[in-house]
Amino acid sequence: MIKIEGITAFVAVAEAGSVSEAARRLRLSKSVVSERLAELEKTLGAKLLHRTTRKLTLTEDGVAFLERATRIVHEVQEAASDIAERRGTLAGPVRIAAPVTFGRLHLGPALYAFLGEHPDIELIMDLDDRRVDAAADGYDAVIRHGTIQDTRLIAWKLAPSRRLLVASPDYLLRNGTPASLAELDSHRGILYTNRGNFDWRFERPEGPVIVRARSALRMNNGDMIADAAIAGLGIALLPAFIAGPPVKAGKLVEIDVGYRAQPEFIYMAHSEGRHPSVKLKAMAQHLKRAFGNPPYWDAAAQVDVDEDV
Q: What domains does the chain contain, in order, with CATH numbers?
A: 4-84 (1.10.10.10), 92-161+264-291 (3.40.190.10), 163-254 (3.40.190.10)
User: What is the pLDDT, as a whole number, of residue 272?
Assistant: 65
Of 181, 178, 180, nearest in space to 167 by CA:
178
Q: Answer yes or no: are the C-beta atoms of 63 and 108 closer than 8 Å.
A: no
Distances (CA, A) of 34 to 20, 21, 26, 63, 258: 9, 12, 12, 18, 61
Distances (CA, A) of 54 to 14, 45, 63, 175: 15, 25, 20, 51
Report pLDDT digits (tens) over 253-301. 999 999 999 888 999 988 765 667 788 889 999 999 999 989 999 876 6
User: What is the pLDDT, as a whole number, of residue 21?
Assistant: 86
Q: Is the pLDDT of residue 7 over 60?
A: yes
Average pLDDT over residues 108-136: 85
Report pLDDT digits (tens) over 63-95. 888 888 888 887 777 777 667 666 667 888 888
